[in-house]
Amino acid sequence: MFKESWDGSSCLLDDVLEREAGSERLVCENKDAVAFCPYASMFPFEVWVVPRRHVRNIAGLSESERISLAGLTRSVLKALHDLLGDPPYNYVFHQSTYEEYHMYLRILPRLSIFAGFELNTGIMINTVPPEMAASRIRKTMEEAV
């Protein structure tokens, strides 16, 4: 996500993190990163893992931030595995060489198959609202403790 929002005042992803703080879509967080199911997610149980500090790529994180990001990601992946079994996943690192970019990771469980509607229109159908997905992931994490 680029640093300037439509009015040029802030980073779009920082704005998203602020909006997601304490929301029903929040999955978990630590001092360096936040995991949430994004509004209007494309896939059931899609999770974004975002460093709190604005960095353009993973190399810009300190060692402790990388460890923290990895720990949070591992917790999310374990909960998804416990909840969903062992579906195929895509992990997408969104990063850039541009200083204005805010890197993030998308975890995409592949639970559905693109069919005629999706292939013809380019519109995705997500049968699990992100609020429900986040709630089920949080519950799975709590039960594992």
Break the chain into its structural domains and give their ranges.
12-144
The pLDDT tens digits of the residues spanning 77-114 come to 999 999 999 899 999 999 988 878 899 999 999 998 88
13 Cβ partners below 8 Å, 6+ apart? 1, 50, 54, 102, 104
Pick 6 or 57 by higher pLDDT. Answer: 57
The dotted CATH code for 12-144 is 3.30.428.10
CA distance 137 to 73: 13
pLDDT category, 122, cuts 50, 70, 90?
Answer: confident
Pick 144 or 109 by higher pLDDT. Answer: 109
Q: To the nearest whole percent, how much of the chain has pLDDT over 90?
A: 70
